[in-house]
Amino acid sequence: MEFDDIHKNLVEILGDDNVYLNEDMSKHSSFKTGGMADVFITPSSKEKIVESIKAINKYDVPFTIIGNGTNLLVRDKGIRGVVMSLYDNFNIVRVEDDKIIAQSGALFSAISNYACRASLAGLEFASGIPGTIGGAAKINAGAYGGEFKDVFHSATLLKRDGTLIEADLEYMNYDYRGSSITDEIIVEVIVKLTPGEVSTIRNAMVLLAKKRKEKQPLNIPSAGSTFKRPKGEYAGKLIESAGLKGYEIGGARVSIKHAGFIVNTGEATSTDIETLIKKVQEIVEKNSGIKLEPEVQIIGEE
Ligand SMILES: Cc1cc2nc3c(=O)[nH]c(=O)nc-3n(C[C@H](O)[C@H](O)[C@H](O)COP(=O)(O)OP(=O)(O)OC[C@H]3O[C@@H](n4cnc5c(N)ncnc54)[C@H](O)[C@@H]3O)c2cc1C
């Protein structure tokens, strides 16, 4: 498919610096793997996001929204159509009383730091989660007993027909690592927190960072926990019990430090990682009767 026309149209809206043809998605995925996106855009305001969607709607092309790519595995053949990335260019955050209002490309961990400085408790759990608040709001990110839904107040969503709507907790319909969001773009998020002591909040964040560093392979590319936690079990424990710690396919490996993480040892392709995900599912199911479900979202052309 030719993208010259759509490229020209999007450059008129977003400027040359925010529209890329054949963008290497390994630069936008924490696994550091994946093929090219046909068109990659980075709008910097709500108005530009809306205008871009209306322009894209004039063409019959697939559309993908991403945040910081820390929960994504992009296949080696890349992504057809237009990818909109909101990380890095759409990240203004402000505090109003006990609420934080954030553009959806702001990092969840940065918002956790804002909250601490503003003496607001409730986001300590988010301090080590490397994604955007948009990504966290979509998948109900959580850690160490905290979940995004516990602090959610409301969100502005852009529907694919170009209309903006306000979403409340009922609309989001959160469950474990999931929400009702399918193809809506989360544009702005408001979280509601509780007044607290800066030192208490900071100490909790420092403690969680220490735990993470001890338990997780943070210095090797990954997308965090590869699998969702099965009811009453731990994915990492099941994988370890199946003898898979350190198991490798190509450059993909079940982390030796934490079996719940699949890591890229340096030269992995997305195919290596996807094949290893399937192999782990198969062997764990044989060993325990439990089918692990990926938490990582696998996207792109098969
Ligand atoms: C080292 C490491 C540790 C991690 N630890 C945790 C953890 O403790 N807890 C946890 O829950 N996760 C963890 N993760 C995974 C990841 O950081 C979170 O899932 C995060 O919320 C994903 O945000 P993102 O911006 O990177 O989203 P992406 O990976 O870019 O996208 C994830 C999904 O959200 C959608 N999405 C993103 N932005 C928007 C938007 N604005 N509107 C609509 N949809 C959107 C995408 O389409 C995709 O479906 C970890 C990852 C790493 C690499």
Alpha carbon of 44 to ligand 1 centroid (Å): 20
Q: Which two tokens mark 197?
A: 């002591």
Alpha carbon of 108 to ligand 1 centroid (Å): 9
Ligand 1 binding residues, C-beta < 6 A:
30, 65-72, 86, 104, 129-132, 134-136, 138-139, 141-143, 181, 185-186, 218, 222-224, 297
- As its CATH architecture, domain 217-299 has Alpha-Beta Complex (3.90)
Interacting residues of 302 by C-beta distance below 8 A, sequence separation 6+: 75, 77
Q: How far is CA 34 from CA 202, 267, 272, in A?
A: 37, 12, 11
- pLDDT value, residue 3: 85
Catalytic-residue membership of 75: no
Q: Which CATH class is domain 4-85?
A: alpha beta
- pLDDT value, residue 4: 85
Nearest Cα neighbor of 152 from 203, 113, 189 is 189
Would you kindly state where each structural domain of the chain is located, as residue ranges?
A: 4-85, 93-200, 217-299
Rounded average pLDDT per 10-residue block, the chain, 302 residues: 87 97 98 98 98 96 98 98 96 97 98 98 97 98 97 98 97 97 97 98 97 97 98 97 98 98 98 98 98 98 97
pTM over 0.75: yes
How far is Cα 240 from Cα 243, in angstroms, rounded to an integer?
A: 5
Instruction: Assess contact for 57 and 162: CB atoms under 8 A.
Output: yes
Q: Whose CA is nearest to atom 27 of ligand 1?
A: 135
- As its CATH architecture, domain 93-200 has 2-Layer Sandwich (3.30)
